[in-house]
Amino acid sequence: MNRPVSASPAPVPRRGLFVTAAAAAVFTVACADSGGSASDGAGAATIQSASVRFHDADERSIGEARLTEGPNGVLIDLELDGLPPGFKAIHIHDTGTCDDHHDGFQASGGHLNPDGRQHGLMNPEGPDAGDFPNIYVHDDGRVYAQLFTPYASLGGAGGRAWILDESGAALVIHENPDDHYTQPIGGAGARIACGVVEAD
Ligand SMILES: [Cu+2]
């Protein structure tokens, strides 16, 4: 990347401009190809990232998550502050609504589960596409975690469960850990925090 000190400054910006224009042309072609794919979810497969802002049942803001689409699934970076300590279940729920704070976030629906699988990462008839390992809330109420699901996609790419379909989706945290086996939600109990998944 180092250029000779004696190089004339004039060609540098021109060369940079040329490369940028070429890259933009390739990118445009790639997007057009992707949009024409019949197997992707109604053209929404181009969604590459999304954000979630969590609120608890008292409507307090308790942190956020960032979802990034990858070739094999979705990576979730999670940063929370203000939850009761211990292991907690976290799932993708099927409906992008968290308005009913005082009714236990029931409006977020059941788990993302277009294939009708049973719940539970350790269930032979599972998992559903909303399942994750538990997160751990430290004594100070904080969580820093990365989660990954190979079962879902923001735009329904690769035939995976479509997170941002018409009904949207929410990330929901429960009061108890998930046992990854029992129906319908692994004994996870009440919903204590919720955040709508919103495309960036
Ligand atoms: Cu759940």
The full set of domain ranges for the chain reads 44-199
Give the 3-state secondary structure of residue 35. Answer: helix
pLDDT: is 5 or 32 the higher one?
Answer: 5
Q: How far is the CA of 45 from the centre of ligand 1 (A)?
A: 25
pLDDT at 34 exceeding the cut of 50? no
pTM above 0.75, yes or no: yes
Give the per-residue pLDDT at 45.
Answer: 54
Give the per-residue pLDDT at 171.
Answer: 98
pLDDT at 49 exceeding the cut of 50? yes
Q: What is the mean pLDDT of residues 50-78?
A: 97
Residues in the chain: 200
Structure tokens at 167: 């009904």
- Rounded to whole angstroms, the Cα distance separating 84 from 147 reads 20
Q: How far is the CA of 59 from the centre of ligand 1 (A)?
A: 18
pLDDT at 134 exceeding the cut of 80? yes
Q: How far is the CA of 87 from the centre of ligand 1 (A)?
A: 14
Q: What are the CA-CA distances from residue 3 to residues 9, 11, 12 (Å)?
A: 10, 11, 9
Q: How far is the CA of 162 from the centre of ligand 1 (A)?
A: 17
Burial class (CB in 10 A: 0-12, 13-18, 19+), 114: middle
Q: How far is the CA of 36 from the centre of ligand 1 (A)?
A: 34
The rounded mean pLDDT for the chain is 84
Q: What is the pLDDT of residues 110-125, one digit of tens each?
A: 999 999 999 999 999 9
Give the per-residue pLDDT at 40.
Answer: 47
Q: How far is the CA of 46 from the centre of ligand 1 (A)?
A: 27
Q: What is the mean pLDDT of residues 61-84?
A: 98
- Rounded to whole angstroms, the Cα distance separating 5 from 125 reads 65
pLDDT: is 154 or 42 the higher one?
Answer: 154
Confidence category of residue 46, pLDDT binned at 50, 70, 90? confident
Q: What is the mean pLDDT of residues 8-14?
A: 40
44-199 is classed CATH 2.10.109.10: no
Q: What is the pLDDT of residues 89-98, one digit of tens each?
A: 999 999 999 9
DSSP codes joined into one string, 68-120: EEETTEEEEEEEEES--SEEE-EEEESS-----GGGTTGGG-SB--TT-PPS-
Give the per-residue pLDDT at 44.
Answer: 53
Q: 168, 47 in Cβ contact below 8 A?
A: no
pLDDT at 87 exceeding the cut of 50? yes
Q: Which of 136, 169, 163, 166 is nearest to 149 (CA)?
A: 163
Chain centroid to CA 150:
11
